[in-house]
Structure 1
Amino acid sequence: MSFRLDPATAINDPHGITWGMHPIAWRNDDIKEIGAFNTLEDMLLDLADLGYRGTEVAGWFPAKEVAKQRADARGIKIVAQWFSSFIVRDGVDAVIPEFTATCEYLQYLGATRVVVSEQTGSVQGQRDVCIFTNKPVLTEEQWPVLAAGLNRLGEIAGEHGLTLVYHHHLGTVIQTKAETIKLMELTDPDKVSLLFDTGHAFVGDGDVMGLLQATIDRVAHVHFKDVRPEKLEESKRLERSFLDSFLAGMFTVPGDGMIDFTEPYRFLIDHGYRDWILVEAEQDPAIANPHEYGAKARAYIESTLLPL
């Protein structure tokens, strides 16, 4: 195993994309016992050995000084971190202190974006709520509140050298293609960008390319996540929650499910996207070994996507 990322053997994308892998493959923030046996060192060593150049921050990371020292020692770039906003519920002024602290933390780590998802009314973390039939919906009065709040957070992110990328997510007020497009229309493109996630687009609407084509000018960060069709149908039939759906195996890495990633990859390249794509799949690492699945995703990337 390589103890430090070797640029010569890392994934080298001829189209200028930088490939990383999300920490959720190793450990879960929502169900803390899932992957609790994995440490930051375990993840960084796997990333270095697999040839992924970066990752995001997870809630289980150690103090910022320790995280930076260990990531730097392994040659792994820390790119971003998730932030749960409650702008509609609490007002943006109540959100700003914690958001500013997150931006300061990310700036220290050398990250370039902060991932925001509005969690007012979210059911993504509730194990007794079906993700396919229950989701919060914004009222007409709440839309401008959320948009104005995100614009304000985007200003703060920019002051810290970060791009705010909004994450459309199952079980939240911004899940569907229509909701995501509307949010982009209501927010300032200089302050709010989009994190495009193939898995959430597919499960949310059954349509990956429709959302990407409609929002390509706002995409500043990308997650490539695949979906197992039989597990998706099973989870719908059994009315599972988001958490129970991923524990049952609904998500997997690119090349192991039903999404054709050649379409979104080619579209991103053709429209000038030259930034990060992170392999992501919420799975139980005790069942889906992160190193094994990271290697599987890399094989798919290099055999199917890079030659395009």
Structure 2
Amino acid sequence: MKAKLAIAPIAWSNDDLPELGGDTPLETCLRESRAAGFSGVETGGKFPKTIAALRDELTAHDLQLASGWYSGTVLDAPDDLSQEKDKVAGQLALFSALGAACLAYGETAGTIQNRREAPLNTRRRLSEDEIRVYGRRLTRFAEHCADAGVPLAFHHHMGTAIESEHDVDLLMQHTGEAVGLLYDAGHLAFAGGDVLRVIEKHGSRIVHVHAKDVRLPVIDSLDRGRDSFLDAVLAGAFTVPGDGSLDFGAIVRRIADTGYEGWFVVEAEQDPAKAPPAEYAVKGYEALSRALTGAGYTIEGHAA
């Protein structure tokens, strides 16, 4: 089986918390990503938005485009989805031209993930009937993305309407196959889910993997009636594989059992002053590489 390793730029520059790496140049992120061994990256706020400019940046650092976040609002969009299709058009064209594996779709309608004043327990919650309606609409949007050459990978995420294991179960039940799953063990663990059970239940839907570790003592110390998601980030809730509480050897073996091949993306938002991005990129690369090879994967695109 084959795997490719990418990293997200959020370790260098956090788009939701500009005080974390806001003045770090994109060139630093790309250079240090490749130096750590990664063959791909996901996009972030500092990345060029045109095909030619982004291709030039990636080529200059011998990197591929793995994917990138899309702030979707299908949950509250008019049923014809015309506005959402117009909003995503530029990103689909960019990702299709540069060979991205998927669109990392995060549902941001009503999200509190970027609101420092909003406690964790105030996130939006949906009934099964609401998820059923949403699932039909999301499936049609995913089919539109697939027709444009970019599959949709749904990113369950803290602070959003699809956060918990139960939310993921219902979403997978009420969406068609066009809606792939972006599996993120870190967000599942933060939400109290069973990171291995979700793979067992929905492994056939996994089309992209974020490798994010958590520091459970930090998460357990949070006051969810007072602390926000961004407070948790600043407190150090997340880190790279090999530096936290999760067993990525077991996680990757379970993913391998599903037959998944593709990108594994190290993504861990931290304070770069406390967790130097270049150092943690190497740490994450080495730990994830060990887990992958131990599970029988061949890693493509190692840096020379």
Task: State the distance in 2 between where 1:106 and 1:178 align.
Answer: 31
User: CA offsets, 1:247-297, max 9 Å, x none?
Assistant: 111100001011011111001112211111111101111221111001111
Q: Aligned residue for 2:112?
A: 123
Q: How far is the alpha carbon of 1:141 from its aligned partner?
A: 4.4
Q: How far is the alpha carbon of 1:116 from its aligned partner?
A: 0.9
Task: State the distance in 2 between where 1:204 and 1:63 align.
Answer: 32
Q: How far is the alpha carbon of 1:306 from its aligned partner?
A: 2.0
Task: For 1:59-98, list aligned pairs within 5 A.
Answer: 59-64=45-50, 65-91=52-78, 92-98=81-87
Compute the TM-score of the two structures, normalised by the length of structure 2.
Answer: 0.91
**Which has the bigger relative contact order, CA under 8 A and spacing at least 6?**
2
Please report the RMSD computed on the Cα atoms of aligned residues, expressed in angstroms: 1.7
Q: How far is the alpha carbon of 1:305 from its aligned partner?
A: 4.5
Task: State the distance in 2 between where 1:78 and 1:94 align.
Answer: 26
1:255 aligns with 2:242: yes
Task: State the distance in 1 between where 2:289 and 2:160 align.
Answer: 34
Task: State the distance in 1 between where 2:216 and 2:128 align.
Answer: 35
Q: Aligned residue for 1:4?
A: none
Q: 1:43 aligns with which of 13, 29, 41?
A: 29
In 2 relative to 1, CA 88–25 (structure 1 residues): closer, same or farther, beyond 3 Å? Answer: same
Asked if structure 2 preserves the Cα contact closer than 8 Å seen for 1:122 and 1:171, the reply is: yes
SS in 2 for 1:235: coil
For 1:66, the aligned partner's letter is A
Asked if structure 1 preserves the Cα contact closer than 8 Å seen for 2:241 and 2:284, the reply is: yes
Q: How far is the alpha carbon of 1:101 from its aligned partner?
A: 2.2
Task: State the distance in 1 between where 2:139 and 2:108 align.
Answer: 16
1:161 aligns with 2:149: yes
SS in 1 for 2:105: strand
User: CA offsets, 1:125-152, max 9 Å, x none?
Assistant: 1111221x22211244432332122112
Task: State the distance in 1 between where 2:264 and 2:66 align.
Answer: 11
Q: Aligned residue for 1:299?
A: 286
Q: How far is the alpha carbon of 1:206 from its aligned partner?
A: 4.2
Most deviating of 250-259 and 41-50: 41-50
Task: State the distance in 2 between where 1:123 and 1:225 align.
Answer: 20
For 1:119, the aligned partner's letter is T
Q: How far is the alpha carbon of 1:109 from its aligned partner?
A: 2.6
1:197 aligns with 2:184: yes
For 2:23, the aligned partner's letter is F
For 2:68, the aligned partner's letter is Q
Asked if structure 2 preserves the Cα contact closer than 8 Å seen for 1:235 and 1:250, the reply is: no
In 2 relative to 1, CA 122–63 (structure 1 residues): closer, same or farther, beyond 3 Å? Answer: closer
Compute the TM-score of the two structures, normalised by the length of structure 1.
Answer: 0.89
1:281 aligns with 2:268: yes
Task: State the distance in 2 between where 1:80 and 1:41 align.
Answer: 18
Task: State the distance in 1 between where 2:204 and 2:75 align.
Answer: 26
4+ runs deviating over 3 angstroms: 236-239, 302-305
Asked if structure 2 preserves the Cα contact closer than 8 Å seen for 1:251 and 1:281, the reply is: yes
Structure 1 unaligned segments of length 5 or more: list them: 1-14
Q: Aligned residue for 1:172?
A: 160
In 2 relative to 1, CA 60–265 (structure 1 residues): closer, same or farther, beyond 3 Å? Answer: same
SS in 1 for 2:222: helix
SS in 1 for 2:122: coil
